[in-house]
Amino acid sequence: MARELLTVGGAAVESGWSARMLRYLEEHAFVMPLRTDAGYRLYGLPELNRLRSLRDLRARFGVELAELVFARRLRREADLRQAVDAWLAAGDDARSWIEWEQRKHERLLAV
Amino acid sequence: MARELLTVGGAAVESGWSARMLRYLEEHAFVMPLRTDAGYRLYGLPELNRLRSLRDLRARFGVELAELVFARRLRREADLRQAVDAWLAAGDDARSWIEWEQRKHERLLAV
DNA sequence: GCAACCCTCACACACCTGTGGTAAGGTTTG
DNA sequence: CAAACCTTACCACAGGTGTGTGAGGGTTGC
């Protein structure tokens, strides 16, 4: 019978995480394994792929888990996304050369 | 002469942050004030607005400063944005009913 | 010239995150 | 039935973040 369902130790080896971290990731709703009746965690291919790509994300970009959570919020909460975007856009502009030039005199007046 | 430039104490009162936090925010490049020759920080209207809206963001949405930094990364680094989006999208799907239904038998087989 | 500001630097602290360990106990399998 | 798994529930700890406070010293304005 096809047994591509791994218990936590096997999934740890296969994914590159520690078993401890697999439990941590479940606790924080990043990767939710199936369960046997006895309560053993079972990881299938989708979960393993998810674990591997999560590892990748952290390795390649240095992304924190909390940051992923925030990214999820950003894609779900339109008003939050808009507010953040507005703030960041203002920041990009505020530091643009035009503003910078315009405000030189403030520095001069300020002395 | 128009003096709408506030030094750090005034800006603190005006913005609702403490002077300490204004320095902290500068150190972390969130709001950069002008400077007098003697090194005093000077906050103009743009900075005050930025400070106020930053306060708002935190109050209304509970946004951490680190999360704003990440949001900035997201809007600047296309490959990061794409990778994160892909991961989140996969997550949305993986927990969708279709997948859920499809995988019921795995749970049954697993017992 | 002195009071009231400002500067930097540093200590201190509470909380959160990511990670390891370990203890007490249940499950599976040869 | 014993070995090798698994479970939950804790303790520990380093590093980061947000914040206050204070010391030692410079600047400004009445």
**Per-residue pLDDT band at B13 (split at 50, 70, 90):** very high
Per-residue three-class SS string for chain A: CCCCCECHHHHHHHHCCCHHHHHHHHHCCCCCCEECCCCCEEECHHHHHHHHHHHHHHHHHCCCHHHHHHHHHHHHCHHHHHHHHHHHHHHHHHCCHHHHHHCHHHHHHHC
pTM of the model: 0.83
Q: What is the pLDDT of residue B82?
A: 94
Distance between alpha carbon B45 and the CA centroid of its chain, in Å?
21
Q: How many Cβ atoms from other residues are within 10 Å of residue A37's Cβ? A: 8
CA distance A37 to chain B (A): 6
On the question of pLDDT at B105 being above 90, the answer is no
Question: Chain A partners of B52 at a C-beta cutoff of 8 Å?
Answer: none
**Per-residue pLDDT band at B100 (split at 50, 70, 90):** low
Between B34, B66, B84, which is nearest A107 by CB? B34
Nucleotide nearest to B41 (CA to C1'): C6
In angstroms, the Cα distances linking A26 to A40, A68, A78, B20, B107 are: 13, 14, 27, 38, 17
Q: What is the pLDDT of residue A79?
A: 94
The whole-angstrom separation of Cα A96 and Cα A103 is: 11
Whether residue A88 and residue B94 make contact (CB cut-off 8 A), yes or no, is no
The whole-angstrom separation of Cα A51 and Cα A23 is: 12
Between A36, A71, A107, which is nearest B88 by CB? A71
**Per-residue pLDDT band at A5 (split at 50, 70, 90):** very high
- In chain B, count of helices (H) and strands (E)? 7, 2
Mean pLDDT of B32-54: 96
Question: Chain B partners of A91 at a C-beta cutoff of 8 Å?
Answer: 50, 72
Q: What is the pLDDT of residue A2?
A: 38
Mean pLDDT of B35-49: 96
Between A94, A95, A110, which is nearest B42 by CB? A110
Question: Nearest residue of B to residue A7 by CA position?
Answer: B110
**Per-residue pLDDT band at A105 (split at 50, 70, 90):** low
Whether residue A90 and residue B1 make contact (CB cut-off 8 A), yes or no, is no
Mean pLDDT of A81-97: 80
Kindly tell me the sign of the dihedral angle through the C-alpha atoms of B98, A73, B88, A17. negative
Distance CA B73 to C1' C5 in A: 38
Nucleotides of D under 7 A from a protein CB: 5-8, 16-21, 26-28
Residue B34 DSSP symbol: E
Q: What is the pLDDT of residue B2?
A: 39
- Radius of gyration of chain A, Cα coordinates, nearest whole angstrom: 23
The whole-angstrom separation of Cα A38 and Cα B38 is: 70
φ/ψ region of B39 (left if φ > 0, alpha if ψ in -120 to 50, else beta) reads left
Mean pLDDT of B33-59: 95
The model's pLDDT over A6-65, given as tens digits with 9 standing for 90+, comes to 999 999 999 999 999 999 999 999 999 999 999 999 999 999 999 999 999 999 999 999
**Per-residue pLDDT band at B1 (split at 50, 70, 90):** very low
Query: Residue B27 CB closer than 7 angstroms to strand D?
Result: no
